Amino acid sequence: MDVLSDVITVMRAGRPRSARIAWYAPWAQRFAPVPGSAGFQIVLQGPCWLIAPDTDPVPLAAGDIVFRPHGPGHTLADSPTTSPTAPACDPNDPGLSRYVSDVGDAAATVTLCGAYELDPVHTHPLLDDLPALIHLPAHLGRHPELRATVDLLASELERPRLGTDAIIPALLDTLLLHILRAWLDRNPSSPTVATGWAAALNDSATAAALRAIHSDPARPWTVAALAAEAGLSRAPFARRFTALLGQPPMTYLAWWRMTTAARLLHQSDTPLRGISERVGYTSEFAFAAAFKRRYGTSPGRYRRAGR
């Protein structure tokens, strides 16, 4: 798998939730903080404002996408001066998995809201790099795949049909990938982004090493072998990787191996020997010792606790 796909695989948990909602002025809706989740708002029709404690009020227009990766609460409103009167809305509420209210007034604001449940134990460092607010304004011709995903999601929520229960979670995962792609594509042009995952994934040498690690974590990697994948000599590669990602390549490799092992223990029936081999350990005993150092328990107990 590629790096971004792996990131989504390890950090997602449970089923994402979403709803299509119409609002009529005056209105202001508080969305409650949801620890361990990431939320989004997409404006399908009409203007509104995003009011959050960590930023100035943000005017939103039809086609705008807002992603809140760290789960803090926020308010949507027709005006920054409108006081929230409705009860707090939890985007993880199972009731928000369907089309909620009829759109009968052309002047109504219509939004898609939703949330992703995240696994706090396996949070990828890429998520920590994301800002508190990602705002993707609507621009004609920009991010066509993202816009197409939004259209498909809105259609399924508005008119549920056979297969909708399977299609919506898949579209929500696709939406998350396209949002992260758009953020990664946009950030290299910013002079403020000199380190971190956006810079690393857009740096050909570091990205090549990361792809190698994620493609084959079982390979007996060394710094020299990863440097060869990156097309650099050993010392310059190690400095570059560490400067961009804040940790040496072998530290990240060890973390990724244990994260992969933990996911396999919870999501598969692969025997411990098979898992240890898939993450680069020829000895099951050595794997168990490394796993216990990372998670504080044996692989067998970790698997049983997750069932």
Partners of 19 in the beta sheet? 113
User: Where a domain ends, among 145, 166, 189?
Assistant: 189
207 and 77 in one domain?
Answer: no
Report the pLDDT value the prediction gives residue 189, as an integer from 0 to 100: 43
In a domain? residue 197: no
CATH code assigned at 59: 2.60.120.280
Token couple for 227:
């440097």
User: Where a domain ends, among 189, 215, 233?
Assistant: 189
Report the pLDDT value the prediction gives residue 191, as an integer from 0 to 100: 45
In a domain? residue 49: yes
* pTM (two decimals): 0.80
140 and 72 in one domain?
Answer: yes
230 and 182 in one domain?
Answer: no
219 and 175 in one domain?
Answer: no
Q: Average pLDDT per run of 10 along the chain, which is 307 residues long?
A: 81 81 88 83 93 88 91 88 69 43 60 86 83 84 86 88 90 91 71 73 93 95 98 96 95 95 91 95 94 94 85
In a domain? residue 93: yes
In a domain? residue 216: yes
230 and 122 in one domain?
Answer: no
Report the pLDDT value the prediction gives residue 90, as an integer from 0 to 100: 53
147 and 11 in one domain?
Answer: yes
In a domain? residue 195: no
Domain containing 210 equals 203-305
Instruction: Please measure the distance between the N-terminal and C-terminal CA atoms of the chain and give it in whole angstroms.
Output: 25
174 and 140 in one domain?
Answer: yes
Instruction: Give the chain's domain count.
Output: 2
Residue whose pair of structure tokens reads 């809706």 in the numeric block: 29
CATH code assigned at 222: 1.10.10.60
207 and 185 in one domain?
Answer: no
Whole-number Å distance between alpha carbons of 280 and 86: 53
94 and 183 in one domain?
Answer: yes
Report the pLDDT value the prediction gives residue 192, as an integer from 0 to 100: 46
296 and 210 in one domain?
Answer: yes
In a domain? residue 207: yes
In a domain? residue 34: yes
158 and 65 in one domain?
Answer: yes
Report the pLDDT value the prediction gives residue 85, as an integer from 0 to 100: 67
Partners of 165 in the beta sheet? none
* Residue of 183, 180, 237, 195 whose CA lies nearest to 6: 180
18 and 45 in one domain?
Answer: yes
Report the pLDDT value the prediction gives residue 188, as an integer from 0 to 100: 55
User: Where a domain ends, among 163, 189, 215?
Assistant: 189
In a domain? residue 131: yes
